[in-house]
Amino acid sequence: MNMHATALAHPNIAFIKFWGLADEARRIPANNSLSMNIGCLATKTSVTFDPALKADVLTLNDELVSGDGLARVQRFMDRIRHMAEKDLYAHITSTNNFPIGAGLASSAAGFAALTLAGTVALGLSLSEKALSALARFGSGSACRSIPGGFVEWVVDPLTGETYAQSIAPADHWELVDCIAILNQDHKPVGSEMGMRSAASSPLQAARVADAKRRFSRCRTAILSRDFAALSQITELDSNLMHAVMMTSNPPLYYWRPGSLAIMQAVKAWQAEGLPVTFTLDAGPNVHLITTRASVDEVLHRLRQFPEVIDIRSGIPAGPARLLEQDSPSRTVQV
Amino acid sequence: MNMHATALAHPNIAFIKFWGLADEARRIPANNSLSMNIGCLATKTSVTFDPALKADVLTLNDELVSGDGLARVQRFMDRIRHMAEKDLYAHITSTNNFPIGAGLASSAAGFAALTLAGTVALGLSLSEKALSALARFGSGSACRSIPGGFVEWVVDPLTGETYAQSIAPADHWELVDCIAILNQDHKPVGSEMGMRSAASSPLQAARVADAKRRFSRCRTAILSRDFAALSQITELDSNLMHAVMMTSNPPLYYWRPGSLAIMQAVKAWQAEGLPVTFTLDAGPNVHLITTRASVDEVLHRLRQFPEVIDIRSGIPAGPARLLEQDSPSRTVQV
């Protein structure tokens, strides 16, 4: 019997951001968040358990990983082993179709694919909800890359359970995410590390206190395909997160001058009537969300910025999915 | 009997910012603020009351002013007329040794000089405290340009009175404000207008709630000449104000890409051990506060930025002062 599976997952871009944990040990987010999976980017992860191994071995884009990166994945694999009650280690091979460490949410896609491949390879058959709840222990936003299309990550106020679920499928709204990739002359603090300082900002409590209102407005904007409403709340939410970052102790500056130049250009383009909005994760890249009809115009304009070294554009994508399986698993619900 | 006076005042740069009013009609600020007068910049204002005039006439840097700019000054002059119980109008001539509308707090210096010259010309003899309390009706931060050196603008919690007063004279600490003047390709919203939207930010209440702590820490840092403490609190306070601006409805973006480039360079310079910190008012210019010993190095580094079109540097300056007087005023306390 082999214990092998391969899964694919997409990164996601959040309209309502996750930044800060209400409970670090239980990985309960400070606020609910909302995102869209990004079609042009994907991570493929294979997991093969091997009784001969004494520890997990991780290969990322054909390079053997050691140190903190490996330890983080091993701790996550321990959770899967614990759930399956099996004491086996695995060869884990992950490849991205995009550069890692460029702020393209590689850890979200990576841990989503690993959650699916790892559990299936070890014979577990988890629901989408359970997969999502598990994925957050690898990387918070990874839980949003398990379901498809437009996704909410919620905390059940009664049970305290937290997981992500789809609010609309990928084909619900023909949006396009045009990602302006900027040069990173210094490696920013990773988001998992950075958000530990969120509570040191005098603004984090106010950001969180207002999150329910933003979440509700954004959810309605997505369900009713209201681009103007989505724009307003998406930019506000992105600015709120970066406001917390820049007022944390020590302050975290993820925006680069080129990021701000694009953000301000977007404001001018909106004034011209172009349907486009921006949002930034914990990095300098600017995600420009636009409609199918306007994507060529947005891409053309983005290419004028000397700071932009690459552009990727993707439509809303489906859920994490199994590509191959050769394991003792029964029905796999994904 | 002539009714004429000329006064000079300096702009000020705030370490703890004023942004938003708790009471708009009474011009009570949402939080106490702290600033330093800037020696290299000055506004000189002459006021000559003339019984033949039917309305105030304003000349700013040799140009006749009309419209909103004139109306704002006329409304302020009405207050002085009301205090003096005189129904006379004036020729007002104001000149700056710096470009107006470049975000160099020209309205603070202008209204401080106008307060002093206007009251003296009409025969009023106001204390520094009363002059300061009056100046805020022209422009909030103008009240901080009345006293000298390092200045606090406070609200008396018992009486509700609000005015600025010196906490240390200009020679208390040999700081230098190196102002990197950036090109303004669009005219930003003026601060008096912009701060009306402060309460629309989900962050303003949190910024204000934390202001007492910042004010106290900044005051102590100034009095004890603790540059590291001043740096930390000054940058935090500047970022807090701009966080509110960028999350207001509509959002206000005063930072330009070049502003952010300089801010981030300052963080790198600090890591090298250079004593320098930054703060930005409602505009793109970056005020780099440094020590006498490091000013040449800071100026040299600032000149490397292509976005910087001009640099001014000034030491802490004294109070608003009378340059000439030919009026019925008795003792003038300035």
Q: How confident is the model at residue A249 (pLDDT cuts 50, 70, 90)?
A: very high
Interchain proximity B206–A210, CB inside 8 Å? no
pLDDT of residue A288: 98
Q: Which of A239-248, A265-274, B104-113 has the lowest mean pLDDT?
A: B104-113
In whole angstroms, give the CA distance from residue B69 to residue B106. Answer: 12
- pLDDT for A1 equals 61
Percent of chain A with pLDDT strictly greater than 90: 88
**Chain A residue numbers touching B185 (CB-CB < 8 A):** none
Structure confidence at residue B334 (pLDDT): 40
A190-211 pLDDT tens trace: 888 888 899 999 999 999 999 9
Q: What percent of chain A has pLDDT over 70?
A: 95
pLDDT of residue B98: 82
Residue A72: its pLDDT value, please?
Answer: 96
The answer to whether the beta carbons of residues B187 and B318 sit under 8 Å apart is: no
Nearest CA among B2, B1, B5 for reference residue B126: B5
Strand partners, A154: A163
CB contact under 8 A, A257 and B257: yes
Cβ–Cβ below 8 Å for B257 and A253: no
A236, B249: Cβ pair inside 8 Å? yes
Q: Which of B239, B244, B270 to mutate to test the interface with A (most CBs of A within 10 A)?
A: B239
Q: How far apart are CA B135 and CA B76, in angstroms?
A: 9
The reply to whether A264 touches chain B by the CB within 8 Å rule is yes
pLDDT at residue A185, rounded to an integer: 63
The CA distance from B223 to the nearest CA of chain A, in Å, is 23
Q: Report the complex ipTM.
A: 0.92
What pLDDT sits at residue B168?
98
Pick among 3.40.720.10, 3.20.20.140, 3.50.50.100, 3.30.70.890: CATH of A172-314: 3.30.70.890
pLDDT tens column, A274-314: 999 999 999 999 999 999 999 999 999 999 999 999 999 99
Taking CB atoms and an 8 Å limit, are A206 and B205 in contact across chains? yes
E strand map for B185-257: none
Summarize the confidence of residues A227-243 as an average pLDDT: 98
What length is written for chain A?
Answer: 334
pLDDT digits (tens, 9 = 90+) for A103-154: 777 899 999 999 999 999 999 999 999 999 999 999 999 999 999 999 999 9
Interface test with A, best of B183, B240, B247, B267 (most A CBs within 10 A): B247
Q: Does the CB of A70 have a partner CB in chain B at under 8 Å?
A: no
pTM of the shown model? 0.94
Residue contact B240–A247, C-beta within 8 A: yes
The fold adopted by the segment(s) A4-170 is Ribosomal Protein S5; domain 2 (3.30.230)
Contact between residue B45 and residue B91 where contact means Cβ atoms under 8 Å apart: no
Low-confidence residues of chain B: pLDDT under 70: 1, 101-102, 185-187, 328-334
Contacts of A234 (CB under 8 A, 6+ apart): A15, A218, A277, A278, A279, A289
The pLDDT score that the predictor gives to residue A118 is: 98
Q: What mean pLDDT is reported for chain A?
A: 94
Distances (CA, A) of B163 to A257, B152, B195: 38, 8, 19
Per-window interface: B 238-257 vs A, CB < 8 A: 239-240, 243, 246-247, 249, 251, 253, 255-257
Between CA B278 and CA B232 the distance in angstroms is 10
Work out the pLDDT band at A329, boundaries 50, 70, 90: low
Sorted by where each begins, the domain ranges of chain B are 4-170, 172-314
Contact A40, A175 (CB under 8 A): no
pLDDT per residue over A58-102, tens digit each?
999 999 999 999 999 999 999 999 999 999 999 999 999 987 766
Which residues in chain A have Cβ-Cβ distances shorter than 8 Å to B260? 253, 255-257, 260
Sheet holding A162-168, edge to edge: A12-16, A33-37, A150-155, A162-168
From the list A206, A210, A257, which residue is nearest B260 (CB)?
A: A257
Specify the pLDDT at position B329. Answer: 53
pLDDT band at A334 (very low <50, low <70, confident <90, very high): very low
Q: Which residue has the tokens 């106008």?
A: B114
CB atoms B247 and A260 under 8 Å: no
CB atoms < 10 A from the CB of B147, how many?
Answer: 28
* Burial class (CB within 10 angstroms; exposed 0-12, middle 13-18, buried 19+) of A113: buried
CB B121 within 8 A of CB B5: yes
- Test B246 with A243 for CB contact under 8 angstroms: yes
